[in-house]
Structures are given as C-alpha cells and as structure tokens.
Amino acid sequence: MRATGFAIEGASIASQHGSVAAVPGLGSADAAGLCTLSVSLEMVECSDTGLRRDHNEDAVFSDAAQGLALVADGIGGRSAGEIASAMAVTCLSAGLREDVARLRVRRQGPESDERFLRNRMAQRIHEANEAILAAAQRTPQYAGMGTTLVAAVFHDDRVIVAHLGDSRLYRLREGALSSLTRDHSLRQEQIDQGLLMPHMARQARHRHVITRALGVDSGVQAEIAAHGVVSGDVYLLCSDGLTDMLEDVEIEATLIRWANDVEAAATELVRLANAHGGHDNVSVVLVRVAGENAVARRGWASFFRHLGWGGGGNDSREWCGGGVGSVAQASARSVRRGDA
C-alpha cells in the first residue's frame, strides 16, 4: 500500500510488476505557488492479486498534490490485460499531470476550468486508447488486450470523473454511499431494461461482459461528469474485484467506520474482498477531502522510471505521443498475499 497526502512521498502506479527504485524528480520549489486547490486531499491506494489469480492485471495511480486518482482493470487474460491497464494508467497520469499544471497557471474561472479538464481528459483517454490499439497491432501476444478505467481529477471544489467499463467511483458523504459512475456492462443494460433484478446481478451469467473498454475500439468514448466536492467527503475508486465480492452496504459500513483513516479503510476493504472469496484482483484508491487549506502541500511528486515491457522498452513518450513527456511506469508495490 502507498499513501499520498499532505507530505507527498510520490505518485505511484501499483501493478503486478512490483517495485522499482525512484529517480530524482521535481522538488517542492518547482511547484511553488501552483497549487491552488481550496480543499486538501489525502490519498491511499491498495492493489491485491486476490486468492484465485496468479498475477495482477489491475493498475492504480494516485497523486494528491495534483489531485489525480486512477484505477484500471486489464481484460484479455492471456492477451496481456496487465499491459493494457498499465499503459492506460501511465499515459493518463503523465498527460493529466501536464494538463493540471497548465491549468493552475492559466486559471480562467470555474466554468472554463471545468470545461478545460473535461476536454483534456477526453483527449488523454483517446491517446491512451490509440496507444493500446497500436501496441496490440505491433505485438501479436498483445492482440485482444484492453482495460477498464475510472479516473478522477480534483480541482478546487469539483471532481471530474471519467470511466469506461465496470470499474467504479463511489462517494461517501454524511454517512451515505452513492455511486458516481454507472457500469458499462451487459449486466447493467439488462438491469436498466428490466430483464434482470438488481439482487440477482451477482449470479448473472454474463456479469463480466463489459460494453466499453480502452484498447478495443478506436471510436470508444469515456463517460465524463463533474460533481461538487465538500469537506469530509471520501471517494473510492475500485475495480470489480471489490464490488463483485462486497455489497454496497458492506462498502458503506467500512468507509463509515474508517472515515478518518483511509489507509485502514483500504486495507479492510481488500481484506473483506478476500474473505468473501477473493475471486479476482482487487484494487482501491481512497481519497479523503480535508478542510479548506488544512495543510500546505509540498509540490510535485517525484517522477519514476518505467519498467521494460517484455523487451519492447517503450516509454510513455512512444506510447502516448510526443506531447506527454517522459513520465513512465511508477513504483509503489502492489499489496499481495504474503506481503509483510
């Protein structure tokens, strides 16, 4: 597990690839005066292989200093789903960090800022989608890979949310849990059409068939929405390894119990998913919103060097286009069975 918060250790992507050493990045002086969020964020991430899988196809990212959180769940199994999820998170995190930095310099008002973030999220998702498609075309063993995605950008008193597939974002506010995303899945379509009762959804035959994903269709579009943020909110981004194992009421009870300790909450959610069977990889990013200007942040998080890709050696500039920069696969370890 890795926490990123008021004293930032560094942005991180946790996936099945394990840990790599950090390289020197931008220090706090480089970002002086750029952070103008009116709320302070604490973030923690946890990714676990589960009890039934032998590798982790999820990837997660969190950077409280920039207000970014991402979860991706690779699809394709033997077709390198873990590559797709890591590519998506790497491309999105690199691109959106640049966009957020630009926004904090050029601020033009709430409506303009929100429109800018929506447009940039759509563009970065398009770039990631094209990168995954191109990698699958170049490398035969990657054919058929794809990934879900849920992404959140916190800016001032708003959060911009983008998603594809069945990875979700929940919000706990004043003791009540609500979902801010709606699954792009055959199961959800059947529920919407009255063909499947919600209480039967877990047993549905086609419960894992998703209708949107990155890397599958060149024309895919993310669903993007904006929501207000208030002090005390807790946001949960998660893969279906959590929601297939836990009912919403269990998630709500856990977040209420540990609302002031997001690290404990993340640990408990993963533990409960495994206690209920651990049928899939389970990944969570928790974001707690503190009071206005509660703590001064310390600049940009350190950048991390990318792991090699099975001999391919492509970095994020090659994946995502020349404008993204050289942020590459990050470090922090996934939490796995047997980890201390």
**What's the pLDDT band for 283 if we cut at 50, 70, 90?**
very high
Burial class from Cβ neighbours inside 10 Å (0-12, 13-18, 19+) for residue 20 reads middle
List of residues 6+ apart from 249 with CB closer than 8 A: none
Cβ atoms 153, 117 nearer than 8 A:
yes
The average confidence (pLDDT) of the chain is 77
Q: What's the confidence (pLDDT) of residue 108?
A: 82
Angle at 269 between CA 265 and CA 275, to 5 degrees: 140
Cα–Cα distance measured from residue 54 to residue 316, given in angstroms and rounded to the nearest whole number: 27
Give pLDDT, residue 257.
97
Percent of the chain with pLDDT strictly greater than 70:
66
Residue 250's nearest CA partner among 236, 261, 260 is 236
Residue 13 near residue 60, CB atoms below 8 Å: yes
Residue type, 46: C
Q: What pLDDT score does 104 carry?
A: 86
* pLDDT band (50, 70, 90) for residue 160: very high
Q: Say whether 241 sits in a helix, a strand or coil.
A: helix
Average pLDDT over residues 317-328: 37
**Topology of the domain covering 2-320:** Phosphatase 2c; domain 1 (3.60.40)
The packing angle between helices 81-105 and 110-138, to 10°, is 150
The answer, yes or no, to whether residue 3 has pLDDT greater than 80, is no
- Most confident of the ranges 1-15, 83-97, 283-297: 83-97
Query: CA torsion angle for 191, 171, 266, 239 (degrees, to 10)?
Result: 30
Query: What's the CA dihedral at 89, 221, 224, 247 to 10 degrees?
Result: -70
Q: Say if CB 145 and CB 136 are below 8 A apart.
A: yes
pLDDT higher than 70, residue 186:
no
Token pair of 74, please?
């690779």
102, pLDDT greater than 80:
yes
Counting Cβ atoms within 10 Å, is residue 23 exposed (0-12), middle (13-18) or buried (19+)?
exposed
161 contacts 118 by C-beta, under 8 angstroms: no
Full DSSP string of 261-314 = -HHHHHHHHHHHHHHTT--S-EEEEEEEE-STT-S----PPPPBPPPP-TT---
**What DSSP letter does each residue of 128-180 carry, written as one string?**
HHHHHHHHHHH-GGGTT-EE-EEEEEEETTEEEEEEESS-EEEEEETTEEEES
Confidence (pTM): 0.77
pLDDT reading at 246 higher than 50: yes
Q: How many residues does the chain have?
A: 340
Side chain identity at 301, as an amino acid letter? A
Please state the domain extents for the chain.
2-320
Residue among 212, 169, 220 nearest 188 (CA): 212
